[in-house]
Amino acid sequence: MTGPEKDLSQRFLDEHEELKPGQDFHFACHPGVSCFGACCSALDLMLTPYDVLRLRRATGQSSRAFVHEYADMSAMPGVGLPLLSLHMQDTDAKRCPFSTHGACAVYQDRPSACRTYPLGRATRPVCAGEASGPDEPCKPKMEEQIFVIRERHCKGFAEAAQWSPASWMEDQGLTPYNVSNDRYVALAADLRGHGHLSAQQSGMAGLALYQPDDFQRFLAGAHVLERLDMTDELRAAVLRDEEACLDFGFDWLELSLLGHAEHLHPKG
């Protein structure tokens, strides 16, 4: 992250309390808390690829229909990867479209930002060791920062329930979200310095990241998987399971846009 974008991110981190390993916090959110549901309005809520997969499955829609109805699309500055954000209700309150009668209609599949709140999680890939060769990049690992978002209206911090960042993340079911979201962050970091994606490349990225049902049909129709060094079991999983298809999509974009992928190689 460089330039104004880095400065904006750093200012955000500087404005919030960072939690160190082993540091706990008190928080609970339930209908008995007086501000319950107040945080579900006027949100600038980014939807990651895994968020979209879970949400559109909860609505029973195709990915194309879900994105059209519930998402606003933009492009990541300096990279061109498609970015999706949740489209709020067209009312003065700008409520979340899934907030109904004080409850969340998609609670079991709510986005990672909602699950993580009142914590925030910032990650960036850093070099974890020596490169395997002169033309190979270093082995990356994710550096993580956890911080507390204390909004004035929120009364949840006065509750008795005590958490560590790890226990909160586990309680909120964040493991699959964080794993997939870290892949998105790593892909974006790898693409920096390679020039802005063309419209065709951006469309390809949108298909692989946000439309697994359409991507599966594309892969089958174009016989893409047959040209890659993959086991028959993995090919079948990519065409059958959307989580496996999204995971493959990250590898495919690395290979297609960067010319290399750790887990994916052409045949021959």
Q: What DSSP string describes the chain?
A: --HHHHHHHHHHHHTSEEEPTT--EE---STTSTTTTGGGBS---EE-HHHHHHHHHHHT--HHHHHHHHEEEEE-TTT--EEEEEPPPSSTT-B-TTEETTEETTGGG--HHHHHTTEEEEEEEEE-S--SSTTSPPPEEEEEEEEE---TT--GGGSS-EE-HHHHHHHTT-HHHHHHHHHHHHHHHHHTTS-PPPHHHHHHHHHHHH-HHHHHHHHHHTT-GGGB---HHHHHHHHH-HHHHHHHHHHHHIIIIIS--TT--B--
What is the average pLDDT value for the chain, to the nearest integer? 90
Question: Total structural domains in the chain?
Answer: 1
219 within a domain of the structure (yes/no): no
236 within a domain of the structure (yes/no): no
Tokens of 202: 């951006």
Q: Which residue has the higher pLDDT, 263 or 132?
A: 263
207 within a domain of the structure (yes/no): no
96 within a domain of the structure (yes/no): yes
Tens digit of each residue's pLDDT (9 = 90 or more) over 49-61: 999 999 999 999 9
Of 103-107, 108-112, 127-131, 207-211, the poorest mean pLDDT is in 127-131
Sheet holding 46-47, edge to edge: 46-47, 82-86, 71-75
Asked whether the whole model's pTM tops 0.85, one would answer yes
Q: Which amino acid is at 192?
A: R
110 within a domain of the structure (yes/no): yes
Tokens of 33: 């808390």
133 within a domain of the structure (yes/no): yes
Q: Which residue has the higher pLDDT, 67 or 13?
A: 67
Q: What is the mean pLDDT of residues 101-123?
A: 93
234 within a domain of the structure (yes/no): no
197 within a domain of the structure (yes/no): no
Q: Which residue has the higher pLDDT, 52 or 2?
A: 52
| Contact between 152 and 180 (Cβ < 8 Å) | no
The residues, any chain, with a CB within 8 Å of residue 162's CB and separated by 6 or more, are 24, 25, 26
Q: What is the mean pLDDT of residues 219-245?
A: 97
| Contact between 45 and 52 (Cβ < 8 Å) | no
177, exposed or middle or buried, with CB in 10 Å at 0-12, 13-18, 19+? buried
Note down the domain range covering 155.
3-168
Rama region for 101: left / alpha / beta (φ>0; ψ in -120 to 50; rest):
left
